[in-house]
Amino acid sequence: MAKNLLIVESPAKAKTIESILGKDFEVKSCFGHIRDLEKNDMGIDISNNFEPKYIISPDKTKVVSDLKALAKKSDEVWLASDEDREGESISWHLAEVLKLNPKTTKRIVFHEITKPAIQKAVQNPRTINMDLVNAQQARRVLDRIVGFELSPVLWRKIGMKGGLSAGRVQSVAVKLIVEKEREINQFVPVSSFKVEASLAATDMNNRSVNFKAEGAKFNQAADAEKFLQSCVGAKYSVKDIQVRPGKRTPAAPFTTSTLQQEASRKLGYGVSKTMLLAQRLYESGKITYMRTDSVNLSDTAMDSIKAEIGKSFGDNYLQVRKYKNKNDSAQEAHEAIRPTYMENRSVDDYDTNRLYELIWKRTIASQMADAELENTTAKINISTNNEELTASGQVIKFDGFLKVYLESSDDEEEDNDDSRLPNLTVGQELVFNQMLATERFTRPTARYTEASLVKKLEELGIGRPSTYAPTISTIIKRTYVEKKEKEGVKREYRIMKLKDDKLSKVTEVETTGAEKNKLFPTDLGLVVTDFLNQHFNQVMDYNFTAEIEKEFDEIADGKMVWNNMVSDFYTPFHEGVEHTLENAERAVGERALGNDPESGKPVIARMGRYGPMVQIGIADDEEKPKFAKLKASQSIETISLEDALELFKLGAPLGEYEGQEISVNIGRFGPYVKFGDQFISIPRGEEPGDVDLDRAIELIKEKQLADAPVAHYDNKPVTKGKGRFGPFIKWNDMFINVPARYNFDNLSQADINALIEAKLVKEANRYIQQFPEEKISIENGRWGPEVVYSKKRIRLPKGKYTADALATVSLDEVKAMILAQDPKAFDKKKAPAKKAATKAAAKKAPAKKAAPKKK
């Protein structure tokens, strides 16, 4: 048995480190965090100075048990989790669970997994830094408070299927995307005409070289045309030439956020993929720690970089640089992301290698010489109107760092190639080929990509390197934001051409507005953001969120007590939550579109229980309102009255088949064909408006074929299909899931018998007692008896009630159990009738007859 037990976060890292330290050390992984806050009652004792209540995560029980056993057998336990606040917190939790003394237990940190770094760390251990632990604890507690207190507000005031949730950083990230979307929606393009001439000059080899020269921009077509007319018969000559030296400087080595941005721009990697690959590189000893906001390079790294530049490119390419981080809160004691061994230029895996090469090139380039340029600007006179054209060119005299790497930009122009002018002299006559005045339109700012959102969050001081990837994953998972492509639209533009002293005009067509892998807010994201902005302005304020991050930094520096910081935040925040729950109206993000020309009733777009929808009429009308679900490509904020009315045409009968009426519509689970009492899903990718009678009948026949009985049980047919929750068989109006251990494509009669009989036994044991008239039941749940009412489940205290006792309790006793946990369970709110159309839309619409789930 090894004398020392050293605990790291990941198993991949454990193997590498164990091979370095040798037989005196046994290196084991704790697989990340081993404890987290309890889920019940928030997991925080608010009244006891915000004391966290931690439990060992269920999936880590065995890991902790194994570590405890190993710790008892070892002479000494070392903690070697990552060097950031999360890592420090993991070490503290390990010390608590393994009953180690945090004041004496050896804690080691390193930012690269190399033999010198590991040996140096072991030779220089420290103890757990409780300031870093408290900074992480403050973040976890504050975020749990925000999530647990805000989420119920959203459930009550917005609703929607499934539970809504809010987060401190996530909600601000969604707000950024929402504001960008609205800025784009309000943007009105303005056209202007760009004048560009194609000219030619003879070079030293007596060859004709074409180049371009730009003229003024004109806002009006008439002005551009007038200018071209004034150039008829003109001579073009060089009036002035200016040659100025220039240079380009390399970018700093990678931090977490700049790596995420460049990997997105150059490789097309999402933030989560970048961090996953970077984690692999770090754990296998290929790069330094990948969660950092420092641009420093160690002396060891600098020596290695200098040697590599000298060997591969020559000493004239070396220029030693010391970079300074613009972020005041950056931890300069850490290092930038770099290869651990500069002599290694690649790794084995393709995707990982692309990222590694990016890191290698950026690191090398950061210490290479400036690129030396020569910028030439020529002024060209037009003889007929004495106006000027400008021709610009750039020549690279010494490539420097450009030999290896050039940083990308979020807003690169389509045509940004370096160009070279022919050798021109003042007074030289030029050959005129043609002149164009091309209509161009202003463009809105681009939507965020994952990488540009990270950049914006960093600029605002919101979040830290470890939070960016999970923040973006969370807002997409919660369906507040979608990452998708947007097809461009066709647009005409005008071109005027002057050639051979003749002016011509043509109209061309271009595609504009196409976008790929951009972040779009959903209607749900828009409504939630507006609600939080209205009622929790401080939480949604960018400066306030950034100040919270600074306070976390002060806790980490030992300058602030974490409980006090949380208390200062909690009191006004909690009061705001209580006030909003009591006084705020339900939010549905409604928008009045106009009136239905047939009925004269108002048409309103709003959020419904199952997503964005439009309705004709209001709840106060004698006739029930009509409802239609928006298409995936439509939004409450931008849908027109015409498009909304088109949605209501979907429900109209298409015709009949086998004596039953056919119609097409959009329901809770997407577009469908209604055939009698059947609902048949329309395949993904097909627009419901494009489904005609022939296509509908085709889908009906396919469904009939799929629904044909595959067997019989108790003289009743058995059919099978695949639904939202996987493969199933249907018998006697009962849906029975088919586990993976069965061959679904070849179910035998014995298989079917076993599945049905197991289901019947389960259903027989499901109900302890039922009260159908009250829609209340007592059921055997997975974790014990439960009271079920209004689609809610109340778990009864363990050991308090037996199934036999519950079988005889009265309805009043059951209601008392419900009220004990939900005091407002049976409250009937009688809201006054609202006359205004837009206000009435906020009320819950009368329940429609629900379509059965399509399988």
Catalytic positions are 289
Name the burial class of residue 188, with classes exposed (0-12), middle (13-18) and buried (19+) by CB atoms within 10 angstroms of its CB.
Answer: exposed
* Beta strands, E only, 44-120: 44-45, 51-52, 54-56, 76-79, 106-107
Pairing of strands 716-723, 51-52: unpaired
Q: How far apart are CA 503 and CA 496, in angstroms?
A: 7
Question: In whole angstroms, what is the distance from residue 696 CA to residue 667 CA?
Answer: 16
Yes or no: say if 439 and 495 are a contact pair by the CB < 8 Å rule: yes
Identify the three-state secondary structure at position 567: helix
Burial 676-710 (b: 16+ CB within 10 A, else e): eebbbbbeeeeebeebeeeebbebbeebeeebeee
Helices vs. strands in the chain: H and E counts, helices first: 23, 34
Query: Integer distance in angstroms from the first to the last C-alpha of the chain?
Result: 57
User: How far is Cα 89 from Cα 567, in angstroms, rounded to an integer?
Assistant: 21
Rounded to whole angstroms, the Cα distance separating 785 from 782 reads 8
Q: Give the C-alpha distances (Å, rounded to integers) separating 106 from 78, 94, 557.
A: 5, 12, 21
Rounded-to-integer distance, Cα 132 and Cα 80, Å: 15
H/E stretch holding 730 reads strand 726-731
Contact 638, 184 (CB under 8 A): no
Interior CA angle at 168 toward 166 and 174, to 5°? 70
| The two structure tokens encoding residue 305 | 């970089």
Of 268, 149, 203, nearest to 571 by C-alpha is: 149
Bridge partners (DSSP) listed for residue 778? 769, 787
Structure tokens of 185? 């929606």
DSSP string, 107-118: E---SS-SHHHH
CA distance 749 to 710: 9
Distance of alpha carbon 256 from alpha carbon 264, whole angstroms: 12
CA dihedral 449, 450, 454, 459 (to 10 degrees): 10
| DSSP-based three-state secondary structure for 846 | coil
Helix (H) or strand (E) segment spanning residue 90: helix 85-97
Alpha helices, DSSP H, located in 428-491: 450-460, 468-477
The answer to whether residues 308 and 394 touch, using CB atoms and an 8 Å cutoff, is no
Residue with tokens 């647990």: 148
Beta strands in 64-115 (DSSP E): 76-79, 106-107
- Map tokens 């969604």 to a residue: 174
Per residue, the 3-state secondary structure of 523-551, as one string, reads HHHHHHHHHHHHHCHHHHCHHHHHHHHHH
| Residue in the block written with tokens 């404890």 | 35
CA atoms of 33 and 56, how far apart (whole Å): 9
- Please answer whether residues 258 and 404 qualify as being in contact, where contact means their C-beta atoms are separated by less than 8 angstroms: no
Let me know: does 662 contact 693? Beta carbons within 8 Å: yes
| CA–CA distance, 466 with 293 (Å, rounded to integer) | 10
Count of CB atoms situated within 10 Å of the CB of 755:
21
